[in-house]
Amino acid sequence: MTLLHEYYVPGLHIEEHSIAVPLDWSGKTPGLPVLAVAKRSVDSLALFYRVLSAPEHAHDADLPLLIYLQGGPGGAGPRPLSPSSDGWIAEAIKHFRVVLPDQRGTGRSSHVNAQVMARFERPEDQAAYLKHFLADSIVRDFEHLRRAEFDAAPWVTLGQSYGGFLTLTYLSLFPQGLAASFTCGGIPHVPADAREVYEHTFPRMAAKTRQYYERYPQDRTRVAAVADRLGRGGDAITQSTLSTLPVLPNGDPLSVEQLQTLGGSFGMKPSFERVHWIFDSAFLDGDGEPGDESALSSEFLAAVESATASNPLYWPLQEFIYANGELNRPIDWAAQQVRDEHPEFGTEQRPLLFTGEAMFPWMFEQERVLRPFRAAMDVLMGDTHFGTIYDTEQLARNEVPLQSAVYFDDMYVDSGLQLDTLSRIGRSHYWVTNEFEHDGLHGDTVFLRLYGEALDRGDLAGLFV
């Protein structure tokens, strides 16, 4: 195991490591020595990971392993400030050495962004490259890591959001590598279908917007006033009209569609309050109440940019996390298809509805960090050939204990669809709660509850000697 750095932050001992993994796993088996390819080869990627432990357990190889499967897609592993900065860590390090990988393409694992996309001359090559950053490759990276660097010891997985999708891929492809699994707000519907997801989530987006306006009724007027200053949007947006819109600090235009994506955080707490305070500072003149001539403040524009910014792989991969094997039809901008069937989300509607975790074609025209991905997106949206990420027969006969937190009001991953999938997975258990939103794991309650239930059932027997 190659150690890059070793240090402490308050309450944590941290080791940093990196190993090489192949860009393309086709015809290769995780863990075989032949995979010791050069780090800088065009055919390989760096997989960076951290190992966390309590200071009193530093270098204690007898502790079992827990690997954290980050949400996303395109999300890097946590950068903890202390055990309590991400609430589950404080409990986890009492019992485990915690492995925090940066999934391929994120953080320090051969990062993918617009600069990388610019290296490819053809959209087809861009698209082929991006397909290597989905669940089938991510899970093979982790299984290779387990076999090559941790003596093939079975480990426990903890999946947050998209990390739950990765969990089902792991259970489908390499169940022998897992001792037990926990998921939080992240059980996908199997069989997977992107359009089905948005058919369930758009009504939730509308309901969340209504709840927001009920809590802060003054914001109906404030949001409408901002939207009116940005124009109609939608199909009326052209390059010439884009040039007339207010400009965010990064140089992107602020369109009504972009404003609506502030609702992307409505599935987490305290998002209503965060959005409310963004609009509180929207107008520059007088006492900040919207007036006919009130200009939008620079502070407001900066806050919108900060709240709607995303990591470079999040939107390009968003709809393809539902692509399992050979598809019956191309995904073809599933969220936009469903939005077109809901005129209440029109940019001219008042009160203005916010959108949630959904990507749209306009993003790849209006946002400079996404423009280099646009040609590749057009190719991928017409593609029907993807790697296998779920094996329904293997999941049905699963023997790895799976404990899931299902958030009843989850805006991003429909609870009914989660429960339907769990009903068809062997040895699955779930806790349904409306006490938490999608980010409940990041407090100090959810992991403790899941861990305790698994411990009481004997699902972790054999891990602790």
Structure tokens, 96: 């485990």
H/E stretch holding 222: helix 218-230
H/E stretch holding 117: helix 114-117
Q: What is the pLDDT of residue 201?
A: 95
Residues whose CB falls within 8 Å of the CB of residue 383, separated by 6 or more in sequence, listed in order: 127, 131, 327, 330, 331
Structure tokens, 145: 């890591």
The percent helix, strand, coil of the chain (3-state, each to 5) is 40, 15, 45
Q: What is the pLDDT of residue 465?
A: 60
Structure tokens, 71: 């949400």
Residues whose CB falls within 8 Å of the CB of residue 463, separated by 6 or more in sequence, listed in order: 64, 156, 179, 180
What is the C-alpha separation between 382 and 262, in angstroms, rounded?
28
Which domains are delineated in the chain? 3-192+390-457 (3.40.50.1820), 194-381 (no CATH)
- Count Cβ atoms within 10 A of the Cβ of residue 328 and give its class: 0-12 exposed, 13-18 middle, 19 or more buried: exposed
| Peptide bond connecting 351 to the previous residue in cis, omega within 30 degrees of 0 | yes
By C-alpha distance, which of 82, 263, 266, 185 is closest to 440? 185
Torsions phi, psi of 11, nearest 5? 85, 5
What is the C-alpha separation between 303 and 150, in angstroms, rounded?
43
On the CB side of 50, CA atoms within 13 Å amount to 21
Residue 129 and residue 120 in contact, taking contact as beta carbons nearer than 8 Å: yes
Residue 317 and residue 134 in contact, taking contact as beta carbons nearer than 8 Å: yes
Q: What is the pLDDT of residue 150?
A: 96
CB atoms within 10 A of CB 201: 23
- Provide the residue type at 101 as one letter: P
Task: Give residue for tokens 């010891």.
Answer: 153
Q: What is the pLDDT of residue 294?
A: 80
Q: What is the pLDDT of residue 235?
A: 45
Mean pLDDT by 10 residues, the chain (465 residues): 91 97 96 60 90 95 96 96 96 97 97 95 98 98 97 97 98 98 97 96 97 97 95 55 84 96 94 97 90 87 94 95 97 98 97 96 95 97 98 98 97 96 98 96 97 96 79
Structure tokens, 340: 């077109």
What is the C-alpha separation between 245 and 255, in angstroms, rounded?
7
pTM: 0.96
By C-alpha distance, which of 128, 146, 183 is closest to 161? 183
What is the C-alpha separation between 343 and 338, in angstroms, rounded?
10
Residue 7 β-bridge partners: 14
